[in-house]
Amino acid sequence: MADSAQDRNLPASDRKKGRAREDGQIPRSRDLGHFTALAMGGALLMLGARPLSGWLQQMLTSALHFDRESVVNPEAMSQLLWSLGLKGLMVVVPMGMLMAAVALLSALLSGGWNVSFKALHPNLGRFNPIAGIGRLFAKQHLLDLVKTVILAIVIGTVGATYLKSQWAGLTQLLAMPLPEGIATLTDTIAAGFGLMLLVVGGWALIDVPLQRHLWLERLKMTREEAKQEHKDAEGNVEVKSKIKARMREMVRKRMLAAVPLADLVVMNPTHYAVALKYDEGKMGAPRVVAKGTDLLALRIRDIARDAKVPVLQAPPLARALYTHVDLDGEVPAALFSAVAQVLAWVYTLRRSPQAAVAQPDVLVPDELDPHSPTFHGKGRRPA
């Protein structure tokens, strides 16, 4: 069954978010960039309104000043225009660069630093007119269109309301002296710009979390995608289970191969079997070379009997060794006494194989026996 938009109800994984960032898809708010750039420009205008008005007055004064040289020498006018243009650029260019830097900083704060050249790769599918028409009516484009229309209506309404409130004063500008008219116009524009800035700022506060939400919505996954994502991240479950089973089988074969070389096997008598080996010259303590329960315990017992390895029925010791000692691990000091008894029994059998040697009565501390009420071991008691 094909995946549909309704099937994408699982949140995006970190892996998919990372791939989206590599593709250049990050949650950025254009409105936030517009607001920060306008805010910086507005702040500069408000802080420098008076100096800028004085500078503009000087510019107009020098521009409207004519003398004999201006009339006689045609190049004088072009030089004047060039000089005025350079003076204007000295104000406009730094302001524009500062606004661009602030807009870039706002983009970094909203979506983080992300460099991706994938968008520059040629994609002939973008020239498909049918796909292009589909993109025009995509949910994201329609939402952007609605946002733009609403923002334009809000800004237009606020601007028209402000302009109406200031219209009486603006009509008096022509009757004012030029310096006073410029100062009044500057104050009016600055106040109107600040009002527009509040509208754009409020809109940006809504747009930033909205863009984050829409980005996460676009990255939502189906159950099949989530399963495939898990397989890609963790590896195929079936393959991993087969590998683990293969490793367990290898360990089992290696363990059973070590049983004929053991000194003895301790059983309880059928549920547990533990094979012990001790080489005084190479080992600091006896080691468990094989252990198992149920069918594996019976298998260890049969191999031991076929190899003439002594099998001792000592249920508490078998349970304690199986619970507290890992495969190829050394016997803990708390069980030294009990293991020494069974090893002594084995050595006696080796010296007098024909003699009837009674099996020792092995004592194991109650806190080490998983069937004891005072058992202090970790985890669940073996059955």
Dump pLDDT digits (tens) for 294-334: 888 899 899 999 998 888 888 888 888 898 888 888 888 88
The mean pLDDT of 241-258, rounded to a whole number, is: 86
- Pair (319, 196) in one structural domain: no
What is the predicted pLDDT for the residue at 3? Answer: 46
- Pair (182, 90) in one structural domain: yes
Does residue 364 surpass a pLDDT of 50? yes
**Residue 137: pLDDT band with limits 50, 70, 90:** low
**Residue 383: pLDDT band with limits 50, 70, 90:** very low
- Pair (143, 24) in one structural domain: yes
Does residue 225 surpass a pLDDT of 50? yes
- Pair (293, 362) in one structural domain: yes
Q: What average pLDDT is seen over the chain?
A: 76
Among 205, 233, 261, identify where a domain stops.
233
5 inside domain: no
Highest average pLDDT, of 119-123, 194-198, 301-305, comes from: 301-305
Q: Picking from 69-73, 153-157, 173-177, 254-258, which range would have the lowest pLDDT averaged per residue?
A: 69-73
Among 233, 267, 301, identify where a domain stops.
233
- Pair (283, 222) in one structural domain: no
Both structure tokens of 345: 């029994």
The mean pLDDT of 180-187, rounded to a whole number, is: 74
313 inside domain: yes
What is the predicted pLDDT for the residue at 222? Answer: 77
What is the predicted pLDDT for the residue at 117? Answer: 55
- Pair (73, 94) in one structural domain: yes
How many domains is the chain built from? 2
Residue-range definition of the domain harbouring residue 72: 12-113+126-233
How far apart are alpha carbons 309 and 359 in whole angstroms? 15
Are 273 and 310 contacting, i.e. CB atoms less than 8 angstroms apart? no
What is the predicted pLDDT for the residue at 209? Answer: 81
120 inside domain: no
This prediction has a pTM of 0.42
- Pair (196, 333) in one structural domain: no
- Pair (281, 198) in one structural domain: no
Between 317 and 118, residue with greater pLDDT: 317
What is the predicted pLDDT for the residue at 236? Answer: 60
- Orientation of helix 294-306 relative to helix 237-258, angle to 10°: 30
**Residue 39: pLDDT band with limits 50, 70, 90:** confident
253 inside domain: yes
Omega cis (within 30) before 316: no
Both structure tokens of 196: 């527009």
With b for 16 or more beta-carbon neighbours within 10 A and e for fewer, the 271-308 pattern comes to bbbbbbbbeeeeeeebbbbbbbbeebbbbbbebbeeee
373 inside domain: no
Alpha helix stretches (DSSP H) within the chain? 14-22, 30-47, 49-63, 68-72, 74-111, 129-136, 139-170, 178-218, 223-234, 237-258, 294-306, 315-324, 336-351
Does residue 377 surpass a pLDDT of 60? no
Between 131 and 89, residue with greater pLDDT: 89
Among 210, 233, 256, identify where a domain stops.
233
What is the predicted pLDDT for the residue at 213? Answer: 79
- Residue 64 has a CB neighbour count (10 Å cut-off) of 8
Between 340 and 131, residue with greater pLDDT: 340
Does residue 342 surpass a pLDDT of 50? yes
Does residue 136 surpass a pLDDT of 70? no
What is the predicted pLDDT for the residue at 53? Answer: 65
- Pair (206, 273) in one structural domain: no
- CATH of residue 363: 3.40.1690.10
Both structure tokens of 192: 């109107």
The rounded percent of the chain whose pLDDT value lies above 70 is 70
Between 27 and 65, residue with greater pLDDT: 27
| Pairing label, strands 272-277, 264-267 | antiparallel
How far apart are alpha carbons 110 and 100 in whole angstroms? 15
Query: Does residue 286 sit in helix, strand or coil?
Result: coil
- Pair (212, 253) in one structural domain: no
Are 315 and 269 contacting, i.e. CB atoms less than 8 angstroms apart? yes
- Pair (62, 189) in one structural domain: yes
169 inside domain: yes
Highest average pLDDT, of 85-94, 111-120, 340-349, comes from: 340-349
48 inside domain: yes
- Pair (188, 311) in one structural domain: no
375 inside domain: no
